[in-house]
A and B are shown apart, each in its own frame.
Chain A
């Protein structure tokens, strides 16, 4: 029988730096703040950390040196949000296998230093010059120069196929901002009406400004240990109950569900198919008390709800517009405010929110009796977390 990593590892502590348009700090300085906060959260000292998994630029060895760490197991993952859940999965597997006892998983984004954000400025769009085109579909010579272009291309196709409306997309933008207004960490605290949304200017049509994530600096640290050790720490453990990895190949496009026909995806096979994560966690979708997904652009919420089978293809847009993803709705989504308004932290601030929700620390935005929460994004990757061993 296959070994199942279900609930073998847990998150013992989480911490963040300040999130701001420009913190004026380097990546390592921000990570130091997040690491300090995470250590305090679980009651550990820096000397207890023997693993360092980095989902950020810079060099793992220089970072360990500067942070006063001495670790026996270091890893570094490409600085993209889609590596968030896989980083945590590798940490969970590593502690379960005894390769390390307490792994600090760290993420940082320093967009202000890059100048002008994605798709231009000093970085001059490194994404666009990759072999085979940018990872979000960028092709600079055609002026296809922003990660949002891939999401815009996918939403255009989606609304053509299913007749989804701009008001339905606006429901993602307004709902997420409503959640952010209840989160003191969130960069955007404004709430917006549907009228505000419709009056917001187009950036890459059909996406409006309010369909796009905030752009910011910040860092997050998540400390992963074994389920047994986690029980001895300051806070109640949050178990990593189930996981599914990144899918890749011609069927996949980062910002479109399989079967939509974006880039080289086939235009068929649209049925929801990411079920491994539920089987591995030993739960069904009806057990999920809240759903967290990468939402750098608002269509991604609609796509994730369909990819993971909460809605049939074409049905998530009206479902969101009916209010089902609000706090108090059938399936609250991104109660932290997500990338759209809390801050763009590569999915890592979503993990912090999940942990705090499962501990009951979320105050006015607390999901009542949250027991099982799911993080997911396009390309099939997902983690399921619980506050009891599943």
Chain B
């Protein structure tokens, strides 16, 4: 198994998403016709088929709508993170995205947990949006 961290491949289509993450902003593809945000990143709006979506900054807040806890590493890189949680977060704006949950023991994660985005810088090009429990009053 490779020791390297698997990283997303930057394409013309997703460049705006990763550029925003590098600025510590979470953005979603946004339809300029019907004004909705959506995920995953796509060349057209999945609701109205309009082309050329742009990007819209979202609150970064949402709730855990499901999650899993890895007890086995399928890539060597993740071995020393075991056990780790991967959460499916439903953003307040609607789309669901997956990420890791920081600042909480995996066994304490629950569906419905309010969370907020945080950022994990990997290198100059890639910063990963991640989540942590929402601190009340934040």
B67 and A203 form a contact (CB under 8 A): no
B69 interface residue per 8 A CB criterion: yes
B86 and A149 form a contact (CB under 8 A): yes
Tell me how far the C-beta of B86 lies from the nearest C-beta in chain A, rounded to whole angstroms.
5
A132 and B68 form a contact (CB under 8 A): no
Given contacts A145-B6, A152-B68, A153-B66, contact A119 B74 (CB under 8 A): yes
Given contacts A121-B1, A132-B41, A141-B5, contact A153 B75 (CB under 8 A): no
Summarize B's interface: helix, strand, loop or mixed: loop
The proximity string for A residues 132-147 relative to B, scoring 1 for CB distances below 8 Å and 0 otherwise, is 1100010111111110
B55 interface residue per 8 A CB criterion: no
Tell me how far the C-beta of A166 lies from the nearest C-beta in chain B, rounded to whole angstroms.
14
Contacts of A389 in B (CB 8 A): none
A262 and B66 form a contact (CB under 8 A): yes
Chain A's closest residue to B128 (CB) is A141
A118 to B6, CA, bound (A): 15
Q: Which of A4-12, A154-162, A270-278 contacts B (4 or more CB under 8 A)?
A: A154-162
Contacts of B136 in A (CB 8 A): none
Q: Which of A64-72, A92-100, A122-130, A286-294 contacts B (4 or more CB under 8 A)?
A: A122-130
Contact of B86 among A124, A128, A143, A261 (CB under 8 A): A143
A264 interface residue per 8 A CB criterion: yes
A206 to B70, CA, bound (A): 9
Contacts of A137 in B (CB 8 A): 98
B46 interface residue per 8 A CB criterion: yes
Contacts of B111 in A (CB 8 A): 156-157, 160
B20 interface residue per 8 A CB criterion: no
B86 and A142 form a contact (CB under 8 A): yes
The proximity string for B residues 1-27 relative to A, scoring 1 for CB distances below 8 Å and 0 otherwise, is 110011111010100000000000000
B65 and A157 form a contact (CB under 8 A): yes
A143 and B75 form a contact (CB under 8 A): yes
A203 and B84 form a contact (CB under 8 A): no
Chain A's closest residue to B69 (CB) is A205
A204 interface residue per 8 A CB criterion: yes
Contacts of B70 in A (CB 8 A): 143, 149, 204-205
Given contacts A203-B72, A204-B68, contact A128 B95 (CB under 8 A): no
Contacts of A139 in B (CB 8 A): 86, 98
B67 and A156 form a contact (CB under 8 A): yes
Give the total of A residues in contact with B, Cβ under 8 Å. 40
B119 interface residue per 8 A CB criterion: no
Chain A's closest residue to B67 (CB) is A156
A42 to B98, CA, bound (A): 49
Contacts of B74 in A (CB 8 A): 118-120, 125, 143, 145-146
Contacts of A154 in B (CB 8 A): 66
B11 and A156 form a contact (CB under 8 A): no
Chain B's closest residue to A143 (CB) is B78
Interface residues of B in 33-69 (CB under 8 A from A): 38-42, 46, 65-69
A201 interface residue per 8 A CB criterion: yes
Tell me how far the C-beta of B51 lies from the nearest C-beta in chain A, rounded to whole angstroms.
17
B96 interface residue per 8 A CB criterion: yes
B6 and A125 form a contact (CB under 8 A): yes
A209 to B88, CA, bound (A): 22
Interface residues of B in 91-110 (CB under 8 A from A): 95-96, 98-100, 106
Given contacts A119-B74, A204-B68, contact A263 B6 (CB under 8 A): no
Contacts of A269 in B (CB 8 A): none
Contacts of A144 in B (CB 8 A): 68, 86, 98
Contacts of B72 in A (CB 8 A): 203-204
B71 interface residue per 8 A CB criterion: yes
A206 and B68 form a contact (CB under 8 A): yes
Given contacts A133-B40, A157-B111, A160-B111, contact A142 B75 (CB under 8 A): no
The proximity string for B residues 73-85 relative to A, scoring 1 for CB distances below 8 Å and 0 otherwise, is 1110110010110
B128 and A140 form a contact (CB under 8 A): no
Interface residues of A in 137-192 (CB under 8 A from B): 137, 139-146, 149, 152-154, 156-157, 160
B66 and A120 form a contact (CB under 8 A): no
**Interfacial residues, chain A to chain B (CB-CB below 8 A):** 116, 118-121, 124-125, 128-129, 131-133, 137, 139-146, 149, 152-154, 156-157, 160, 201-207, 250, 261-264
**Interfacial residues, chain B to chain A (CB-CB below 8 A):** 1-2, 5-9, 11, 13, 38-42, 46, 65-75, 77-78, 81, 83-84, 86, 88, 90, 95-96, 98-100, 106, 111, 126, 128
Q: What are 10 A-B residue pairs whose CB atoms fall within 8 Å in the complex?
A: A121-B1, A129-B6, A131-B13, A132-B41, A133-B98, A143-B74, A145-B6, A145-B78, A156-B66, A264-B95
- Nearest first, the 9 A-B pairs at minimum CB distance are A140-B6, A119-B74, A205-B69, A120-B74, A157-B66, A152-B68, A145-B74, A143-B78, A202-B71
**Given A146-B74, A153-B86, A206-B68, 7 new contacts (CB under 8 A):** A125-B75, A132-B41, A139-B98, A142-B99, A144-B68, A152-B68, A263-B96
